[in-house]
C-alpha cells in the first residue's frame, strides 16, 4: 500500500525535512504521496510535485488550514487514511503536534523520531535522550510515524513530476483559533538544515555576547544554536535550542562554545560529522564527544578564531 507524507511548509515553501521524510517513505514502499494542507500554498504544491520519488500530491488549500491546526489537519488525514499503509510526517513541532492525534483517531500507535527503516513494519528510534536505540515492530493496520530528518538523506528536490489531486473537504474546528505568531527572522540557514552550526551555552554570559558567534557564522555560512541554559537565561530565543527536547541537528561541523555537554544537549547534536568544543574547563563532558577540543576562555578564542578563518 502507498505511503502518505504530510508536508512540512509555511504556505510559501516546502521545508527540507519533508525531503528526508520522502527518503524514509521510499524505503517502505515505492508509491509515495505527499499531502499539502495549507492556504494559498500553490508554490508548495509545485515544489512537492517536483520531488523525486513522489507520485502524487494531494492538496487541501483553504483558509481553515492556514495555520495547520492539529484539530483540523488530523481529521482531514483520517478521512483519507484508508488508502494508505503508512502515514509519515517529519518530526518537527508541526508533525509532533498533529500525528499523535491522527494515530489516536485511527486507534493505532504512533512511533516517534524514526531514524531507520528496517522493513515496512520494523523501525528504529532513539529513546532515553539517545542513550538507547530501540528497534520496534508494529502490526497496526496503518503505521503512523514521525521521521527524524537527520536519520535520512534528503530526496532530490527536482526530477519528479507527480500528479495532483485536490481535496475539497474543509474541516474547521471552532474551538481552536490562531491568535499570533512571533517567528524568528534570520538570513542564516535554518538550524536543522545547516551544514555548519555554531552554538553558545551558559558560558556566553549574556545575549549580547552571542554577537561574538555571528562573525564566525557569517564566514562559515553557519546557523547559530544554543543550549537550554542559554535559552532559559533569555540570551537567545527558544527556536535555537538544540537537544533532547529541542532540535536535533547533524551538520558537517558543530562548534560548541561555552557548553558543558549535558546528555540532553548531546542528544541533539552528537551525530554531527565533526564536533569542535571550546570550553575553559578541561573536564567538561563535551570534550568526550568532540573531535577537536580547545581548552580556552571563549572570550579570547572566539575572536581569534573569527580572525583566522
Partner 1 sequence: MKILVSVKRVIDYNVKVRVKSDQSAVDLTNVKMSMNPFCEIAVEEAIRLKEKGVASEVVVVSVGSKSCQETLRTAMALGADRAIQVEAEDGLDSLSVAKLIAKVAQEEAADLVIMGKQAIDSDNNQTGQMVAALLDYPQATFASEIVIENGEAQVTREIDGGLQTLAITLPAVVTTDLRLNEPRFASLPNIMKAKKKPLDVKTSADLGVEVGSNVSIVSVTPPPQRAGGIKVGSVAELVDKLKNEAKVVS
Residues near ligand FAD (CB under 6 A) are 201-203, 227-230, 241-246, 258-260, 262, 264-265, 268, 279-281, 284, 297-299
- Least CB distance to partner 1 at residue 157 (A): 20
292 binds partner 1, rule: CB under 8 A: yes
Considering the complex, state which of residue 35 and residue 194 has its C-beta at the smaller distance from ligand FAD. Answer: 194
Question: What backbone phi and psi angles, to 5 degrees, belong to 59?
Answer: -125, 125
User: Is 260 labelled a binding residue?
Assistant: yes
Angle between helix axes 70-80 and 93-106 (nearest 10 degrees) is 50
User: Is 245 labelled a binding residue?
Assistant: yes
Among 7, 48, 111, 298, binds partner 1 (CB under 8 A): 111
Question: What backbone phi and psi angles, to 5 degrees, belong to 303?
Answer: -60, -35
Among 31, 46, 66, 239, binds partner 1 (CB under 8 A): 239
DSSP 255-301: EEES----HHHHHHHTT-SEEEEEES-TT-GGGGT-SEEEES-HHHH
What, of partner 1, ligand FAD, none, does residue 155 touch, CB below 5 to 8 Å by kind? none
Binding mask 62-91 for partner 1 (x = CB under 8 A): -----x-xxx--x-----------------
- Judge whether 18 and 33 are in contact, CB under 8 Å: no
Three-class secondary structure of residue 187 per DSSP: coil
Considering the complex, state which of residue 39 and residue 299 has its C-beta at the smaller distance from ligand FAD. Answer: 299
244 binds partner 1, rule: CB under 8 A: yes
What, of partner 1, ligand FAD, none, does residue 218 touch, CB below 5 to 8 Å by kind? none
Considering the complex, state which of residue 126 and residue 201 has its C-beta at the smaller distance from ligand FAD. Answer: 201
What, of partner 1, ligand FAD, none, does residue 79 touch, CB below 5 to 8 Å by kind? none
Considering the complex, state which of residue 120 and residue 295 has its C-beta at the smaller distance from ligand FAD. Answer: 295
- Report the C-alpha gap between 179 and 276 in whole angstroms: 41
Widest CA span of the chain, in angstroms?
Answer: 61
10 binds partner 1, rule: CB under 8 A: yes
Count Cβ atoms below 10 Å from residue 141 Cβ, excluding itself.
12
Considering the complex, state which of residue 163 and residue 281 has its C-beta at the smaller distance from partner 1. Answer: 281
User: Is 288 labelled a binding residue?
Assistant: no
Give the alpha-carbon dihedral of 197, 123, 125, 131, to 10 degrees.
-120
168 binds partner 1, rule: CB under 8 A: no
- Characterize the bridge pairing of strands 54-61 and 32-38: parallel
- Report the C-alpha gap between 237 and 210 in whole angstroms: 12
Amino acid at each position: 500500500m502507498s505511503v502518505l507524507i504530510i508536508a512540512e511548509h509555511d504556505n510559501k515553501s516546502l521545508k527540507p525535512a519533508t525531503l528526508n521524510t520522502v527518503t524514509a517513505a521510499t524505503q517502505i514502499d515505492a508509491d509515495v504521496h505527499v499531502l499539502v494542507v495549507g492556504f494559498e500554498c500553490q508554490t508548495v504544491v509545485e515544489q512537492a510535485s517536483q520531488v523525486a520519488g513522489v507520485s502524487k500530491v494531494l492538496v487541501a488549500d483553504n483558509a481553515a488550514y492556514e495555520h495547520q491546526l492539529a484539530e483540523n489537519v488530523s481529521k482531514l488525514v483520517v478521512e483519507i487514511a484508508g488508502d494508505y499503509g503508512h502515514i509519515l510526517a517529519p518530526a518537527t513541532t508541526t508533525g509532533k503536534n498533529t500525528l499523535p492525534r491522527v494515530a489516536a483517531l485511527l486507534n493505532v500507535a504512533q512511533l516517534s523520531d524514526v531514524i531507520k527503516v528496517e522493513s515496512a513494519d520494523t523501525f528504529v528510534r532513539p529513546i532515553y535522550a539517545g542513550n538507547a536505540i530501540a528497534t520496534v515492530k508494529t502490526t497496526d493496520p496503518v503505521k503512523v510515524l514521525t521521521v527524524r530528518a537527520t536519520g535520512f538523506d534528503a530526496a532530490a528536490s527536482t526530477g519528479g513530476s507527480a500528479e495532483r489531486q485536490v481535496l475539497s473537504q474543509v474541516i474547521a474546528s471552532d474551538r481552536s483559533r490562531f491568535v499570533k505568531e512571533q517567528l524568528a527572522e534570520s538570513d542564516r540557514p535554518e538550524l536543522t538544515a545547516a551544514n555548519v552550526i555554531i552554538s553558545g551555552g551558559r558560558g556566553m554570559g549574556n545575549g549580547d555576547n552571542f554577537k561574538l558567534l555571528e562573525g564566525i557564522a557569517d564566514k562559515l555560512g553557519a546557523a547559530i544554536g544554543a543550549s537550554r541554559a542559554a535559552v532559559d537565561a533569555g540570551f537567545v530565543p527558544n527556536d535555537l535550542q538544540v537537544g533532547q527536547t529541542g532540535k536535533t541537528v547533524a551538520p558537517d561541523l558543530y562548534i560548541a562554545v561555552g557548553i558543558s555537554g549535558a546528555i540532553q544537549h548531546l542528544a541533539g547534536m552528537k551525530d554531527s560529522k565533526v564536533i569542535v568544543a571550546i570550553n575553559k574547563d578541561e573536564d567538561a563532558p563535551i570534550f568526550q564527544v568532540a573531535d577537536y577540543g580547545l581548552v580556552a576562555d571563549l572570550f579570547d578564542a572566539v575572536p581569534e578564531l573569527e580572525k583566522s578563518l
